[in-house]
Structure 1
Amino acid sequence: MDAPAPWGNLLAVPDGPFDGERFDALLAGGAFRLERIVSTGQSSPPGFWYDQEDGEWVALLSGAAELQFEDEAEPRRLAPGDWLHIAPHRRHRVHWTAQDQTTVWLAIHYR
């Protein structure tokens, strides 16, 4: 991950599409990492589940997405302003992100 920039705009992103999601480091400390994630229609591969050691708090700033937890029957649809807490080792996946607009996430990863 590149060194964080000293200032910026969360919604100013380079033109997509990207080969995958874009991850931009914003700030990091001993027990946390703040990043912006930019999605342009990406989703997790079929059958793939994230299983992260760290906890994560994520907010959707623009666009639209669905996040699926392994222990829930239906994905959660997210709109701008929605946020989720993902406990360590809670298996989840990105069901879809909007293909017709840029989706911007703000994520805090913590120990």
Structure 2
Amino acid sequence: MPNLFSDIPNDLPNELFNDLLNNKHIRIERIISHGHTSPDKGWYDQEEHEWVIVLKGEGEIEFGSGNTVKLGVGEYLNIPAHEKHRVVWTTHEEPTLWLAVFYR
């Protein structure tokens, strides 16, 4: 049986993204960060809404408005489509495990 906490690498040179479910209505993604931030290319500006929860670790998301939200274990938020955002910090102490649900 699949487990969200399985196969978390000890060495993580790059953020890890795994689609758990992907169809025309919804995409569910597991993201593992370990001190990573969003790519330098700029802001995420997505066609879908994104509901995200931290299952392990901590992370901080910055929005185009300048507001930031720090998330710890069990904390979640909903990001409306086209709301510019990026991850500006994840803890170096342990991997941060995110579960993101993208929907229209």
Provide TM-score, normalisation by structure 2: 0.89
Alpha carbons of structure 1 residues 46 and 34: separation in structure 2 relative to 1, 3 Å: closer
- The offset of 1:47, in angstroms, is 7.2
Query: 1:21 and 2:29 equivalent?
Result: no
- The offset of 1:44, in angstroms, is 2.1
- The offset of 1:11, in angstroms, is 1.5
Residue 89 of structure 1 is matched in structure 2 by 82
Match of 1:55 among 19, 44, 49: 49
Q: Percent identity?
A: 40
In structure 1, distance between residues paired with 2:98 and 2:36: 13
Unaligned runs of 5+ in 1: 1-6
Alpha carbons of structure 1 residues 53 and 63: separation in structure 2 relative to 1, 3 Å: same
In structure 2, distance between residues paired with 1:91 and 1:63: 23
- CA displacement, residues 10-52 of structure 1 (integer Å, 9 cap, x when unaligned): 1223323323211111112321111111111101245721111
RMSD in angstroms over aligned alpha carbons? 1.6
* Divergent runs of 4+, >3 A: none
Secondary structure of 2:61's match?
A: strand
Unaligned runs of 5+ in 2: none
Letter in 1 for 2:32: V
Residue 37 of structure 1 is matched in structure 2 by 31
Alpha carbons of structure 1 residues 46 and 30: separation in structure 2 relative to 1, 3 Å: closer
Provide TM-score, normalisation by structure 1: 0.84
Count of aligned pairs between the two proteins: 104
8 Å CA contact 1:16–1:40 kept in 2: the answer is no
